Structure 1
Amino acid sequence: MEIRAIATAFDRMADALSQEDAERIRAENALLAAKQTLEQRVQDRTSELQEAVAVAFERNALLETRRHDLIALNEMSDLLQSCQTLDEACIVLDRAMPALFGMGTGGAYLFRESSNLLERVAQWGGDLPISFMPDDCWSLRLGRTYSSSPSDTRPHCSHFPSETMNATHCVPLLAQGKTLGALVFLWDESVPSPDLDSRLKLVQAAADRISLALANIKLRQSLRDLSIRDALTGLYNRRFVEETFEREMARIARSQEPFSLMMMDVDHFKRFNDTFGHDAGDMVLRSVGELLRDYFRSTDMPCRFGGEEFLVMLPGTSLVNAQERAEDLRKAVKSLTVLHQGRPVGQITISIGLAAYPSHIANRFTLIEAADKALYQAKALGRDRVVLASEETEAPEEPRTA
């Protein structure tokens, strides 16, 4: 009996030990599973954090790019608003646009001298045409932004190369109901651009600011022209002479280039008014003004100085050349035919006083006075002639008559 009891107790003890071993193994397995689960969670969380950090860095880089873009856009806008002429604005665009839009290929085009041709004023990336016609661009036809790509059915604008396989984007420059130009872009769709939408918004913002600045420049130039242009002849007026002469004198003092000046007067002008009326006199002045505009170079400055008197500034022109041109001009005026109510008003002649610096007038600031005195002499000597001024030129004591 004792042996059986001992065996039974031993069996019970063995069962208990076996159960303990099983529980220990289950605990160890649970602990191992928990550890593996925790490690996986840590690994997953680490990956999530790494992805979040990468996204944050990318987003921060995009924000920094946008910040730089906004600074560059504002700087370009400030410079454009400070420009006084379209030529100055073109210089600003040529320097600012490539820095602002480095992606792909692009260009800025404006209407310049002609309203039927857009001229390239800025370019970046690849080559684009120097100019194109308005009908070549769908955005100008439609009056709104126009995009196309190889993956859609819309045609490319014909100012782009016909063989291009790139996406295109054109934005018209519009202000106050007028088309001033266009911004055009080409880029490779196969190259991923996560910030493309933002870049296109930047393009539109730039177009809006450029349009506004150009419209303001054109308005200021129009107002400026009204203030310095003679309404009858379209030539510069006396105010322009007073503003420009001193600046030209300072410039030639630095450059030491020759500078000539003509003062001229329509002979016997009062006769046209007395015989045919003031309308005829205005026609004579307009005809002479038109001849002066056509005859002189773009760098010369023909002006209506007052009444029937005209003045022409000739930068870079020597006395010899100025004298030849004055004689040719005198002959050209003499050959003019002006009709009033179908009748010729008679022959038109002019007298010209000519002065030049530094060849024979040492003091550049007395050029106008010297040329005016020479004009007096031309009148006194019988009119219809060119007289050269000199340091000793004196005006006659009698008042000058037409």
Structure 2
Amino acid sequence: MLCTALAGLIVVLAGALLAVTMQMHDNLGWLDHSSRVLRTANHALSSLRTAESGQRGFTLTRDPDFARAVGPALDTARRDAADLVNLTADKPEQNERARQLQALVAGRADTLEAAARLARSGQFDQARQSTASRHGLELMQLVEAKVNDLLLDERALAADRMAAVESLLRTIRWLVILGTPLTLLMLALVARSLIQRIRRPAGEMLAVMGELGAGHREARITGEMGSREFAQLASGYNAMADELQRAVANQAEAAESLKTANAALSRNADTLRERGEVIEILGGMAHRMQAARTDEELAAIIEVFVPRVLPQIPGALFVHNNSRNLLVPTATWGGLEQVQTGFAPEECWALRRGQSHFVDEAGSDIVCPHVGVWADHYHCEPLLAGGEVIGVLYLRGTVGTESRFRLAVLSENIASALVNHRLQRGLREQTIRDPLTGLFNRRYLEETLALEMARAARSGAPLTVVMCDVDHFKRFNDEFGHDAGDQVLQTVAAELRRRFRDGDVVCRFGGEEFVVIAPATEVSILRARVEEVREAVSHLTVRQGERALGSVTMSFGLATWAPDMDREGIALLKAADAALYAAKREGRNRVAIDPQALAA
């Protein structure tokens, strides 16, 4: 029941996230549509003004070079006006404005063409009279007024659509904030239910055995066991107890039957106690794995608990890396030192067959290619979830029959923990990563900056911040479109991530701005590194498919945290931002340092 509820919760969360994402995609499409309407209207007006200027220049100076621009500009204005009618077909009121604008543009274009024809035929006086007539001026004023009405309405539409996008973003954030703890709670309840389902039948069996030991030979296990293994144990115990009762009635065979029953009872009791201990250990292990937040913590838990479940059997846990399609070592125990750095799933017969694969002695079975020199004495246990490869447990030695139950339950616990850990990590990455560039987002920046300032205050180590942005970024959006702008941001982000050291935190601050947190780094040392980054960026050539977008440059501002600054990072970021603007004023494509940082 709990598993079904957990699955339903995950499906609901995924469905909600998908629905909100689809709505956001639609709203972003309408935002792009509004942008096209605005650009087309402005371009139509600009083309009409160009034609008007060319016709006046030709009439006044009689220079034919002015006349050459009139015809193409009028064609462009008419074409843009027609495009506006098509683009506003979804909005009747805007469409009516577009049609009126098309008529006004056509009227003004006709008057300009008539004056141009008079001038070309040598009738410059008549052409000047036509140009100076008030009718043309009134037409142009009507065109400008109609364009302004259309632009105002379209900008209002764009603002409403942007508000809708922001609302959807808030919905996604709340889904993640509320869904994550709820999912974790459901997982904890499932684990608790599993432990209870094992403890209850074990306790009932031990209680019945205690009654039998106290002389109550009619005591039998009658409760629901909850699993096939415990049901078989209970059935075997009841059969043994029945046999014991019959043996007592038959005095001739009582002694021999009693010895047999006692021996079987002792073995069963030992098995139950052993399994109870194993379940107790696995319960503690599962609880800790649920609380693990990093791969290192998960590996440490496995290295502590696996030797307690499978003592004196060294081994290693290999976890599947989806991006590389390799099984990589995550944890080792029992003194195992030499293990593969990684191998493909095809190199393990346990993963190929989807079941245990082991070799007890040389030649007893086919050997996995990843095993190496210990090919005559090993055991591989696959970790699968829903048919997907999660990992493999590699054990160097023989797993006896009495330990198969331990291994089976251990494998299920580790596989479940790895799946849960992967889900938690994926959700965490979604909350702290910028979806476009893959860099850390502003929320993570604020959290990290506060933490690093606290560390700097305690240790006295320097803390330097770099704020940078792409020079003339608007040019890419205007000339090539917003997709090209996104490509520029992705290319620059990849270069920043590659050039800064692992200890530096590279974040997208917003728009085309980026922030780098450099703990324990003096501003003089960081400046040399930033200069290298700036130089590397200036040599980039950004491409969008087969189209070259040109070169990119960036400006950088550096600032150092001081004890008199606030602990939220506002003052530090403002200082870095001021240095960045100083670099902009000095001509861009350069590095500037906050004067306070230089004084320190």
Q: Same fold (TM over 0.5)?
A: yes
1:350-385 CA-to-partner distances (Å, cap 9, x unmatched) read 111112245x98666332222112112222222221
Mapping of residues 86-235 of structure 1, within 5 Å: 86-112=295-321, 114-124=324-334, 126-133=336-343, 134-150=345-361, 153-162=364-373, 165-166=376-377, 168-188=378-398, 196-197=401-402, 199-235=403-439
Bigger share in helix: 2
Specify the code of the residue in structure 1 equivalent to 2:271: L
Give 1 or 2: higher strand fraction: 1
**Would the alpha carbon gap of residues 125 and 45 (structure 1) be closer, same or farther in structure 2, given more than 3 Å must change?**
farther
Within-5 A mapping of 1:229-244: 229-244=433-448
Larger Rg: 1
Superposition pairs of residues 336-351 of structure 1, within 5 angstroms: 336-340=540-544, 342=546, 344-351=548-555
Q: Is the 8 A contact 1:111 1:118 kept in 2?
A: yes
Separation in 1 of the partners of 2:542 and 2:456?
38
Partner Cα distance (2:338, 2:263) in 1? 38
Could you state the TM-score of these two structures normalised by the residue count of structure 1?
0.76
Q: Which residue of 1 aligns with 2:469?
A: 265
Q: What's the CA shift for 1:243?
A: 2.7
Q: Which residue of 2 aligns with 1:253?
A: 457
Instruction: Please name the residue that 1:37 is paired with.
Output: none
**1:328 Cα deviation from its structure 2 partner:** 1.0
Aligned to 1:79: 288
- In 2, are the aligned partners of 1:361 and 1:391 still within 8 Å (CA)? no
Q: Name the SS of the counterpart of 1:140 in structure 2.
A: helix
Query: Are residues 155 and 344 of structure 1, via their aligned partners in 2, closer, same or farther at CA, if it must alter by over 3 Å?
Result: closer
Contact 1:355 / 1:361 at 8 angstroms: preserved in 2? no
Q: Normalising by structure 2, report the TM-score.
A: 0.52
SS of corresponding position for 1:299 = coil
- Counterparts of 2:456 and 2:526 in 1: how far apart (Å)? 16
1:27 corresponds to: none
* 1:388 CA drift (Å): 1.1
Q: Report what 1:287 is aligned to.
A: 491
The answer for the alignment partner of 2:18 in structure 1 is: none
The worse-fitting range, judged by mean Cα deviation, of 83-92 and 229-238 is 83-92
One-letter code aligned to 2:379: H
How many Å separate the matches in 1 of 2:371 and 2:597?
65
Relative contact order, higher structure (CA 8 A, sep 6+): 1
Corresponding letter in the other structure for 2:504: D
8 Å Cα contact 2:441/2:508 also seen in 1 = yes
In the superposition, relative to structure 1, how do residues 74 and 352 fare at CA in structure 2: closer, same or farther (>3 Å)?
same
Instruction: Give the Cα–Cα distance (whole angstroms) in 2 for the partners of residues 318 and 363 of structure 1.
Output: 20
- Within the candidate set 504, 510, 524, 1:320 is matched to 524
Verify the 8 A CA contact 2:484 2:544 in the aligned structure 1. yes
Query: Matched residue of 2:541: which SS?
Result: coil
Measure how far apart 1:122 and its partner are.
2.2
State the Cα distance separating 1:392 from its structure 2 match.
9.1
Q: 1:240 to 1:108 in 2, by over 3 A?
A: same
Q: Which residue of 2 aligns with 1:378?
A: 583
Aligned partner of 2:275 in structure 1 is 66
Contact in 2 for aligned 1:86/1:218 (Cα 8 Å): no
The 1:316/1:178 distance shift into structure 2, 3 A limit, reads farther
Unpaired runs of at least 5, structure 1: 1-41, 394-402
CA distance in 2, matches of 1:94, 1:135: 26
Give the secondary structure class of the aligned counterpart of 1:345. Answer: strand
RMSD: 3.1
Greater mean deviation of Cα atoms: 241-250 or 149-158? 149-158
How far did residue 227 of structure 1 move? 2.3
Residue 156 of structure 1: how far off its partner (Å): 3.0
Q: Report percent identity of matched pairs.
A: 36
> Which one of 273, 298, 301 corresponds to residue 502 of structure 2?
298
Change (3 A) 1:102 1:69: same
- CA 1:287–1:83 in 2, change beyond 3 Å: closer, same or farther? same
Distance 2:280 2:255 in 1: 37
Matched, 1:277 2:481: yes
- Alpha-carbon distance between aligned partners in 2 of 1:94 and 1:212, rounded to the nearest angstrom: 17
Q: Secondary structure at the match of 1:131?
A: coil
Q: Partners in 2 of 1:266 and 1:180 — Cα distance?
A: 42
Which segments of 5 or more consecutive residues in structure 2 lack a partner in the other structure? 1-250
Question: Residues of 2 paired with 1:361 and 1:321: CA distance?
Answer: 23
Does 69-78 or 133-142 show the bigger shift? Answer: 133-142
| One-letter amino acid of the structure 1 residue matched with residue 406 of structure 2 | L
Post-superposition offset of 1:200: 1.2
With over 3 angstroms needed to count, the CA separation of the structure-2 counterparts of 1:272 and 1:54, relative to structure 1, is same
Q: Which moved more, 1:153-162 or 1:375-384?
A: 153-162
Instruction: Write the distance in 1 (CA, Å) between the matches of 2:276 and 2:452.
Output: 44
* Alpha-carbon shift at residue 270 of structure 1 (Å): 1.2
Q: How far does the alpha carbon of each residue in 1:253-283 deviate from its partner, in whole angstroms, 9 at most, with x for none?
A: 3444332211001111112222222222222
Aligned partners of 1:149 and 1:84: how far apart in 2? Answer: 37
Q: Is the 8 A contact 2:583 2:589 kept in 1?
A: yes
> Aligned with 1:187: secondary structure?
coil
SS of 2:551 mapped into structure 1: coil
1:311-363 deviation line (CA, Å, top 9, x unaligned): 111223222221111111111111111235755434321111112245x9866
CA contact (8 A) 2:470 2:555 kept: yes
Using the TM superposition, give the Cα deviation of residue 130 of structure 1 relative to its aligned residue in structure 2, in angstroms: 4.2
- For residues 228-258 of structure 1, what are the alpha-carbon distances to aligned partners after superposition, in whole Å with 9 as ceiling and x for unaligned? 2222211111122123222232333344433
- Distance in 2 (alpha carbons) for counterparts of 1:339 and 1:379: 25
Answer yes or no: is the 8 Å Cα contact 1:283–1:338 preserved in 2: yes
In 2 relative to 1, CA 63–339 (structure 1 residues): closer, same or farther, beyond 3 Å? closer
